[in-house]
Amino acid sequence: METDKELEEFRLEVRQWIRENKPEVVGDFGTPSYYKWGKILYEKGWAVPSWPVEYGGSGFSPQQLVIFQQEMMAADAPALRSTGVNMIGPLIMKLGTDWQKEYYLPKIPSLEHFWSQGFSEPDTGSDLASLTTEAVLEGDEFVINGKKIWTSYAQYCNMMFLLVRTKTGEKKQDGITFLLLDVDQPGVELHPIKLIIGKSEFCETFLNNARTPKRNLLGEIDQGWKVAKALLANERVGILDRPNLVGINLDRIKEYAKKVVINGKSLFHDPILRRRLTKLEMDQACTRFTNNRIIAALSQGLAPGPEAAFAKLYSTELGKRINDTMMGVMGPDSQVFIDEKSAEDEMEISRLFLFAYAATIAAGSSEILRNIISKRILGLPSV
């Protein structure tokens, strides 16, 4: 274990490197600046810092990994948060064949492969096990037909992992299979869905006789539900920094409050607001401590535990409260949404506010997570 002095030297090293190498602007997933930043991280060996060294990881200790995450967020330098990094990559490490590990894992940090997730379907809602997309094994290939929805950033991806039905059993969880699919083929059609925030992060995906070789089966045929449950834990871990993704930095709220003057006094000195900000800061600190524990466990090769469900639930609800506070502080200025005469940072506030509510649904809604925590983790009786 490193000494405090060694950890501080590491922090300064990371901070200096980010300052010297990060592009001035790093856009959203799929933009040229995001790709450029990803290549810089890859060349440094920091593209997938939480992965084991043999798969391209950084070799950071748990303490160093936490420091790295903190410095990246402080510098507004986004880590690679793709589903390849956080979800399918760790799952292939755990359950993949030797060929799958050798072929697919190196292509994630190098940015040769970007992955999307094909789970949700239009008629199933949160009941994932009711999926109807079918796959039939013909020789050495699966032939897939069906429709997926809410496939995040699929328009920028060339690979997809998806759940399909290969058999109808007594339980709807039976007969589900987990497949890896090359998106760049005639049988796959992607249609972006325009969101209320003005951007398109999701797609409808139509699968018409799409094909994938049998070697792209992850786990056993008809046993994909077990694989999916393991992956969902990784998905929740992948958005542990949700307060930083969907929330407004608390310092930003303070700076804006200082500019608002009511009856000759700055809003920043209002005791009710200061009490609320203090509570949010304490809650954000607690969330980070929990997240850091999970990150440290992952860096030691441990699987995500029950904390992942707790952390995802609490962090997204916290992001919502942070955005609510910012909207209140801004008052009428927060109502700006799409207006060419308005500043981009003002329009961003309302977009983040709306997205914060969507975040409580993504990767397991707050309602479902509360039920999971109650029944499966705490063992409480159903009511």
Checking if the pLDDT of 319 tops 70, the result is yes
Checking if the pLDDT of 340 tops 60, the result is no
CA distances from 163 to 37, 175, 277 (A): 31, 10, 43
| Lookup: tokens for 116 | 């999307």
> What CATH number labels 114-222?
2.40.110.10
Catalytic residue among 71, 121, 201, 235: 235
Average pLDDT over residues 160-176: 90
Mean pLDDT of the chain: 83
Checking if the pLDDT of 141 tops 90, the result is yes
Average pLDDT over residues 324-349: 69
Percent of the chain with pLDDT over 90: 37
Q: Is the pTM of this model over 0.85?
A: no
Residues near 64 by beta carbon (within 8 Å), at least 6 away in sequence: 2, 7, 10
Q: Please tell me the least confidently modeled range out of 74-78, 189-193, 255-259.
A: 74-78
Least Cα distance to 325 among 213, 382, 229, 249 occurs for 249
Checking if the pLDDT of 35 tops 80, the result is yes
Least Cα distance to 144 among 186, 202, 92, 192 occurs for 186
> pLDDT value at position 190?
95
DSSP structural state of residue 302: P
> pLDDT value at position 37?
93
Report how many helices (DSSP H) and strands (DSSP E) the chain contains, helices first: 13, 9
Residue 36 near residue 93 (C-beta atoms within 8 A): no
Specify the higher pLDDT residue, 242 or 19: 19
Topology of 4-80 in CATH?
Butyryl-Coa Dehydrogenase, subunit A; domain 1 (1.10.540)
Q: Is the dihedral of CA 64, 76, 18, 30 positive or negative?
A: positive
Residue 45 near residue 105 (C-beta atoms within 8 A): no
The Cα angle at residue 323 between residues 317 and 328, in degrees rounded to 5: 130
Specify the higher pLDDT residue, 46 or 349: 46
Checking if the pLDDT of 114 tops 90, the result is yes
Max mean pLDDT range (33-37, 206-210, 330-334, 372-376): 206-210
Checking if the pLDDT of 113 tops 90, the result is yes
Q: Please tell me the least confidently modeled range out of 124-133, 273-282, 305-314.
A: 305-314
Specify the higher pLDDT residue, 173 or 304: 173
> pLDDT value at position 140?
95
Least Cα distance to 251 among 311, 322, 185 occurs for 322
Specify the higher pLDDT residue, 109 or 259: 109
Q: Is 20 noted as a catalytic residue in this protein?
A: no
> pLDDT value at position 304?
60
Checking if the pLDDT of 239 tops 70, the result is no
> pLDDT value at position 247?
45
Checking if the pLDDT of 245 tops 50, the result is no
Residue 177 near residue 144 (C-beta atoms within 8 A): no
Residues near 82 by beta carbon (within 8 Å), at least 6 away in sequence: 29, 108, 114, 115, 153
In this structure, whether the domain defined by 239-377 belongs to CATH 1.20.140.10 is answered with: yes
> pLDDT value at position 128?
79
Torsion of CA 24, 30, 36, 41, to 10 degrees: 100
Specify the higher pLDDT residue, 293 or 135: 135
Alpha carbon distance 355, 359 (integer Å): 6
Residues near 59 by beta carbon (within 8 Å), at least 6 away in sequence: 53
| Lookup: tokens for 264 | 């000759």
Max mean pLDDT range (44-58, 239-253, 350-364): 44-58
Average pLDDT over residues 165-189: 92
Checking if the pLDDT of 17 tops 90, the result is yes
Alpha carbon distance 119, 225 (integer Å): 11
> pLDDT value at position 14?
95
Specify the higher pLDDT residue, 125 or 9: 9
> pLDDT value at position 250?
79
Residue boundaries of the structural domains of the chain: 4-80, 114-222, 239-377
Specify the higher pLDDT residue, 367 or 302: 367
Which of 223-250 are b and which e, b meaning 16 or more Cβ less than 10 Å from the residue's Cβ?
bbbebbebbbbbbbbbbbbbbbbbbbbb
Specify the higher pLDDT residue, 236 or 187: 187
> Which tens digit of pLDDT belongs to each residue from 275-287?
999 999 888 888 7
